[in-house]
Amino acid sequence: MLASWDISAMYPSLKIEYIVREVDTLLVERIGQKPSGAMRDAAKRLRKVVMPLLIFMLQHQFVYVRAAGVGVAEKKNFYWQKDGIGMGSSASGPIADITVIVGERVVLKKSEREGCNLKMYKRYIDDIFAIVEGGTGKGKEAEKRIERGLNELDAGGNVKVEGKAIVTNRTKKMGEDEKRIEFWDIDTVLGWSGVGATMSTEIWRLSLIFLLVFQ
């Protein structure tokens, strides 16, 4: 099975308390992974510096919005964003990325314990791609389990995930939409031959589609 998920709610919906808790968890883990002595002391100092800076940044986000108009008629507005992370900030991507990592690892480990044979799982900010191997019916079941786990990363509903999965087996004849899945610029196609399942990749013109739509 191939699966792709899109995190449709991430930047503006990540509550400040949730971000702080998850990032701090990673920093505490980092301290525990370092051997005692200078390296552990350095990790502790890093936490003391990073966490106050992160909290201050999240509590003082000012979003700039330029209204319609040109020259002297142009209006410049600033808004205080009290929740989430401001879109367009150079820090938004890394912060959102590491915020999700803690719960994501728990979800994947639980899925593997429950029999999900996860061959590959890759995430780029808010787009996810995975390859799952299993018996009849196991692939779809694994896709739903992972999607449900990702949607339950935080009780406050900070993360919302929507997915698509395609499954191949020896007996099922697949239509065009059922055997291909897109992830960024790659179009992955599943099939079946005399030796078993096959997988090939083609170019998915994502960038070209955006250009044509917004030109």
SS (H, E, C) 106-170: HHHHHHHHCCCEEEEEEEECCEEEEEEECCCCHHHHHHHHHHHHHHCCCCCCCCEEEEEEECCCC
| Token duo for residue 166 | 């395609």
Q: Looking at the domain assignment, is residue 163 inside a domain?
A: yes
- Position 118 pLDDT exceeds 90: no
Q: Looking at the domain assignment, is residue 19 inside a domain?
A: yes
Q: What are the tens digits of pLDDT across the range 30-85?
A: 999 999 899 999 999 999 999 999 999 888 887 666 655 555 555 566 677 777 78
Q: Looking at the domain assignment, is residue 185 inside a domain?
A: no
Q: Looking at the domain assignment, is residue 70 inside a domain?
A: yes
**H or E element, residue 190:** strand 186-193
Q: Looking at the domain assignment, is residue 12 inside a domain?
A: yes
Q: Looking at the domain assignment, is residue 199 inside a domain?
A: no
CB atoms within 10 A of CB 2: 23
Report how many domains make up the chain. 1
**Confidence (pTM):** 0.70
Q: Looking at the domain assignment, is residue 141 inside a domain?
A: yes
Print the domain residue range for 57.
Answer: 2-167
Q: Which pLDDT score is estimated for 72?
A: 53
Q: Looking at the domain assignment, is residue 122 inside a domain?
A: yes
Q: Mean pLDDT of all residues in the chain?
A: 76
